[in-house]
């Protein structure tokens, strides 16, 4: 008999059975280890696939959202040859703005009044196209202020038979969680003023409040000093009510996304001037 009893005469100890149990335990342990390794490989593959997907999408977002990854790389090489002005554009714009931006309920292509004019502005960051603003002008509430802005968008207003307006001007002041400001085609630095009615014109009314982001409002240097400069709110600014005239709003989600991109560009401290020019390269009426 292969078994034997211990010294105390207790239960029989079967050495062969013990060896079999050890071998079975070792086999089970090897199986568990293989499963762990296979699981790690699957996780690594998933991580690589996710990272690769994110990189491809990031490349497309950086290059306008419509290019392939190869086209994006080609575009980057061209820009670097031109002096590298825009090679860090992706670092100046908040990442994943498009995905994280929540579109407010009040932004739609439906006008508050069907007879109100709609104007647009095409915006570049340096030579990099960012997007298009579309604005409804509240001509039914502030007709004089709206017409001033509209004519500066279309180029209808002329001096010496030359169109005067917002084309080829910049947003010279960007303050995060407040507003972006532009429209100075006189001195191009925020100090100039001109309107279709003269150097300045009066505050038309303060019927519309600064109660949300995406509102067009007139910049001024005090009461009744409206000219060509304007700003777009990036949040509620109730302290401006009764001081600045609201005369329009952005009307689609693409305009809001563009507003967020501009709001997050890199600026010079204290004067809030964008480090790369934000240009209005085209504007007009739709």
Domain CATH for 242: 2.40.100.10
pLDDT at 208: 96
Residues 126 and 46 in one domain: no
pLDDT at 69: 36
Residues 114 and 207 in one domain: yes
Q: How many domains does the chain have?
A: 2
Residues 98 and 171 in one domain: yes
**Which among 84, 112, 139 is the end of a domain?**
84
pLDDT at 42: 54
Residues 109 and 232 in one domain: yes
The rounded distance, in Å, linking the Cα atoms of 254 and 134 is 9
Residues 74 and 110 in one domain: no
Instruction: Give residue-wise pLDDT tens across range 77-104.
Output: 334 444 444 444 444 444 444 445 455 5
The rounded distance, in Å, linking the Cα atoms of 280 and 211 is 26
The two three-digit tokens of residue 187, written as one number: 């001195």
Instruction: Give residue-wise pLDDT tens across range 26-35.
Output: 656 666 666 6
Spatial contact of 246 and 213, defined as CB atoms under 8 Å apart: no
Domain that holds residue 51: 1-84
The two three-digit tokens of residue 150, written as one number: 């509209």
Residues 63 and 116 in one domain: no
Residues 56 and 190 in one domain: no
**Which among 63, 84, 105 is the end of a domain?**
84
Instruction: Give residue-wise pLDDT tens across range 111-140.
Output: 677 889 999 999 999 999 999 999 999 999
Residues 156 and 239 in one domain: yes
Least confident of 6-10, 39-43, 157-161, 205-209: 6-10
Residues 1 and 102 in one domain: no
**Which among 69, 84, 99 is the end of a domain?**
84
Residues 71 and 100 in one domain: no
pLDDT at 113: 76
Residues 113 and 46 in one domain: no
Coil, strand, or helix at residue 200? coil
Question: What is the pTM (predicted TM-score) of this model?
Answer: 0.65
Residues 198 and 108 in one domain: yes
Residue 4 has pLDDT above 90, yes or no: no
The rounded distance, in Å, linking the Cα atoms of 155 and 150 is 9
């Amino acid at each position: 008999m292969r078994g034997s009893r211990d010294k105390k005469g207790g239960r029989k100890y079967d050495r062969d059975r013990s060896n079999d149990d050890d071998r079975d335990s070792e086999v089970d342990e090897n199986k568990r280890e293989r499963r762990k390794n296979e699981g790690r490989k699957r996780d690594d593959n998933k991580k690589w696939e996710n990272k690769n997907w994110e990189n491809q999408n990031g490349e497309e977002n950086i290059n306008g959202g419509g290019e392939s990854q190869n086209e994006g790389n080609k575009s980057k090489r061209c820009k670097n040859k031109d002096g590298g002005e825009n090679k860090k554009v992706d670092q100046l714009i908040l990442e994943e703005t498009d995905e994280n931006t929540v579109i407010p309920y009040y932004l739609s292509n439906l006008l508050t009044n069907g007879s109100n004019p709609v104007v647009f502005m095409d915006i570049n960051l340096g030579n990099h196209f960012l997007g298009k603003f579309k604005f409804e002008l509240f001509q039914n509430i502030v007709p004089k202020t709206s017409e001033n802005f509209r004519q500066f968008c279309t180029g209808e207003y002329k001096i010496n038979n030359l169109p005067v307006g917002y084309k080829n001007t910049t947003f010279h002041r960007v303050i995060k969680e407040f507003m972006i400001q532009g429209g100075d085609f006189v001195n191009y630095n925020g100090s100039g003023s001109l309107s279709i009615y003269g150097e300045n014109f009066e505050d038309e009314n303060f019927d519309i409040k600064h109660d949300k982001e995406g509102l067009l409002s007139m910049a001024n240097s005090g009461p009744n000093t409206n000219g060509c400069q304007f700003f777009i709110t990036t949040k509620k600014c109730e302290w401006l009510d009764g001081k600045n005239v609201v005369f329009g709003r952005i009307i689609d989600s693409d305009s809001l996304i563009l507003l967020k991109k501009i709001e997050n560009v890199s600026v010079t401290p204290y004067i809030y001037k964008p480090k790369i020019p934000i240009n209005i390269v085209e504007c007009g009426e739709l």
